[in-house]
Structure 1
Amino acid sequence: MFVFTASPLPGDAAANLHKIFSPTIDQASFQPDLQRLKSLTAGYVAFCPSPWPAPGLVVTSEISGQSEVWLPLDMIRPVFERLYRKVLRYPPILSSTPFSGASSWASIVAAFPEFIKHCCTPASLLDALLTDDELREKFIFWSFMPRRFYGAGSNRYPGQTVFVREWLQGRTLKTVRCLDAACGDGESSYALASLVLESGVRVDKCSVEGWTMDPLEVWCAAHSCFPHDARRQAGFRAATGQLFSGGGHKCLTFLQADLLNAPVTERFDLIVCNGLLGGPIISDVSQVEMIAQNLTALLQPGGLLLVADHFHAGWKKRLPTAVIAGRFAECGLRVREAGEGLAAEG
């Protein structure tokens, strides 16, 4: 389990990145793969008519079909999945990568960011990743943390924020221990810490933990770093800058954790679990029930647990709110509507 405290210092970021990310790779072990991809590419270029895959290309079914004939993903995907395993010092969540669910190599290339747009064939991409350490680092982060997953801002649930602020004002807690379950890139964790500190709780009496399954997210959250996306990093640092400059980040810790197998910790006064339950990430009723039980076990008697999923609302919503509410009620919690979601109290 990876645990990183929030720190703005580049030295801390570099040291922690080394714990999860190998700075070197055995190029020789990938040479047979590279030669096979070069052969595939040569055939594709020689016999397949344009348009060839390119960033921003509108991929029609015909283009996707041609791509699959000459550059079949079943021959390409295993190579890059092996690269992920070699670079990362933990078993990666491969379902998060661009190769998971892709219809063709063309559809993957169409979404390429600026820094790899010159590598439009699998051979050219692999060759570049093997020889360019900085490019490889950016590619790995882009693969597991694409822009579509993030960037909605720290106050995605303004109604919930108001509810938490009123709850904090109505209590006389000298210490407040908070959990941002499924924290993602950590933006909501920083917002939660700011909210608690603004209520009058001292930094040394406040504790906010952000939990997520992906160690790359843990690292990005702790250090406000996004090597693959300079614009996102600048926006994130602008949003968290005041907290860092005032020393408020000292109450923040981020760790790798799976809510289906929650680590044993001290209990929390306030738990927030947003963007996880009822949508495409967790919609199996038995898993929702298990997470409800685990979160209830982590909640202090008299504590507050908030659940919302505005991000996956509409056509992505797979479980009615009443079903989720019922699972928490079965755990002995009092459940009611709050902001954009539910509040459950012990």
Structure 2
Amino acid sequence: MDIPGAPVMTLEDFRMIKEFVAENFGLLLENEKEGYLSAKLLPRLEELRLSTFAEYYAYLKFAPGGAGERLKFISRITNNETYFFREEIQLRVFAEEALPALKEKKLRNDDRTIRIVSAGCSSGEEVYSLAMLVLESGCFAWNWDVKITGVDIDPKVIERAVAGVYSGRAFQSTPGQYQERYFRKCDNGFHVKDSVRAMCSFVQGNLLDLDDIVSESEVDIIFCRNVLIYFNDETVRKIVENFARFLVDGGLLFLGHSESLSRITRRYIPIRFPGAVVYRVRG
């Protein structure tokens, strides 16, 4: 429902903003309606004192302050809902299959470094879930250098991830013993303990440009779950082929349960487990 006196998003405004999002972020807004996008962006028009969405589009595209506004823009339109231990079957494969196999491979090569990236990490629940599973596995107890890096385009969710304070729905799938073992109560909810945080870091960045975040052929495992559904096929291909540059030989890519690379690229081999598929990069 339109707010009386508020700017109205025309079909032409909607078309221009959709094209802007696709060109700059690779994101699809095909299923979004003008009303949804209008409601998300109206607060930005008010703060910038702009009268129309056409003016806002021009500000995003051409104004000197457009770069900073683009970060606020993407924060408004993206969906950052997540929680600890989401998609449990995949995480079980990570803990029970991937980690033991990775340890054996590393020991054969006299290498005690583990590098994991969570691409599209949102507010950090996935990164901390992976860290807890690494600790629980007991595979890397002594003299291992384990680093898990979360990357997201939205600076506000990166701030929340770094703060590491959670409550409510974030724990809807968290085993009780994990919450007791790896969190401490604080005024605003529960704070991730240092034993978990020590192996985790967070960076604001674009999935198409990871060069300043990790080095080529350095990453053992990439998680990019429930992110690619927002991109068109060509952008998905660019993202996952870019991931392949950073994965070690035989490195693994975890996608969301509804995401598939079968018609996107041949750079990966699907490895099938009961209830889950993991992709191994071709050597």
TM-score, with length taken from structure 1: 0.52
More helix by share: 1
> Residue 182 of structure 1 aligns with which residue?
120
> Residue 92 of structure 2 aligns with which residue?
162
> Residue 18 of structure 2 aligns with which residue?
none
> Residue 223 of structure 1 aligns with which residue?
163
User: What is the one-letter code of the residue matched to 2:237?
Assistant: E
SS at match of 2:254: strand
Query: CA offset at residue 341 of structure 1?
Result: 3.7
- Residues 1-346 of structure 1: pairs in structure 2 closer than 5 A: 64=1, 67=2, 70-74=4-8, 80-82=43-45, 83=47, 91-94=70-73, 96-97=75-76, 149-151=80-82, 153-165=83-95, 166-170=97-101, 171-172=103-104, 173=106, 174-197=112-135, 198-202=137-141, 205-225=145-165, 231=168, 238=179, 241=183, 244-245=192-193, 247-264=195-212, 265-266=214-215, 267-277=218-228, 279=229, 281-282=230-231, 284-307=232-255, 309-310=256-257, 313=258, 322-324=262-264, 327=265, 329=266, 331=267, 333-338=268-273, 339-345=275-281, 346=283
1:341/1:299 CA distance change after superposition, 3 Å: same
1:199/1:220 CA distance change after superposition, 3 Å: same
1:192/1:234 CA distance change after superposition, 3 Å: closer
Partner Cα separation in structure 2 for residue 73 and residue 295 of structure 1: 41
**Number of equivalenced pairs:** 211
User: What is the one-letter code of the residue matched to 1:168?
Assistant: L
Q: Deviations over 1:11-50 (max 9, x none)?
A: xxxxxxxxxxxxxxxxxxxxxxxxxxxxxxxxxxxxxxxx
Q: Deviations over 1:44-91 (max 9, x none)?
A: xxxxxxxxxxxxxxxxxxxx3xx45x33333997763152799x9663
For structure 2, which runs of at least 5 residues remain unmatched after alignment?
10-37, 49-59, 107-111, 185-190
SS at match of 2:248: strand
Larger radius of gyration between Structure 1 and Structure 2: 1
SS at match of 2:139: coil
> Residue 20 of structure 2 aligns with which residue?
none
1:204/1:251 CA distance change after superposition, 3 Å: farther
Query: CA offset at residue 205 of structure 1?
Result: 1.1
1:225/1:216 CA distance change after superposition, 3 Å: farther
Q: Deviations over 1:224-277 (max 9, x none)?
A: 247xxx645788995851794362311100001111222242221111110112
Query: CA offset at residue 193 of structure 1?
Result: 1.1
RMSD of aligned Cα (Å): 3.5
Partner Cα separation in structure 2 for residue 193 and residue 169 of structure 1: 15
1:251/1:285 CA distance change after superposition, 3 Å: same
Partner Cα separation in structure 1 for residue 42 and residue 244 of structure 2: 42
Partner Cα separation in structure 2 for residue 233 and residue 154 of structure 1: 6
1:241/1:204 CA distance change after superposition, 3 Å: farther
Identity of aligned residues (%): 20
Query: CA offset at residue 322 of structure 1?
Result: 2.4
- Contact 1:257/1:263, CA 8 A, preserved across alignment: no
